[in-house]
Amino acid sequence: MTKKDLEDIIQTAKAAGADVKVVQIGSTEKEVDERPAVPLLKLELSIKKDGDALSVLSHGDWNTLGSLFLEMAPINVDIEKVKEMFTPAKNAFNHCCNELNNYIQEQYKGALEDEKERIRRKSC
C-alpha cells in the first residue's frame, strides 16, 4: 500500500465522520520500488550492411536469467513446457525474418539491374 492509498483512506474515513488521528504515514525504512521485469524471451531483428548488400539477422533465444527465475520460482514451472508454448512464435518470427531477407535481396538485385541498365543507356 502506498502513502497516497493511506491518505485516501484517511480522507474517506474523515469524510464519513470518523475521528481519525494520524500519528505517522510511511515508515523510517526506504520505500521499495517495484522490481523490474526479468526478460524471458528475446526476438531481435537487425539489418546489416555487407559490402554493398544488406542482410537480415535474426536472433530468437531464451534469456538465461528469465529461465532461471522461472525454474527457481516456488510455483513449480516447467521451463520446457513454457518453451514449447513459444516455439510457434519463434518459428513464425524466423519465417518472417527469412521472408524479409528474401524481399530485401530481390529489391537489391532489382536496383542493381536498374543501375546497370541506366549506365548502359547513358553510355550509348
- pLDDT digit string (tens) for 80-103? 888 899 899 999 999 999 999 899
The pTM score is: 0.57
Task: Retrieve residue 77's grid coordinates.
Answer: 514451472
For the chain, give me the number of helices (H) and strands (E)? 3, 2
Residue 42 scores a pLDDT above 80: yes
Give Cβ neighbours of residue 6 (< 8 Å, ≥ 6 apart): 25
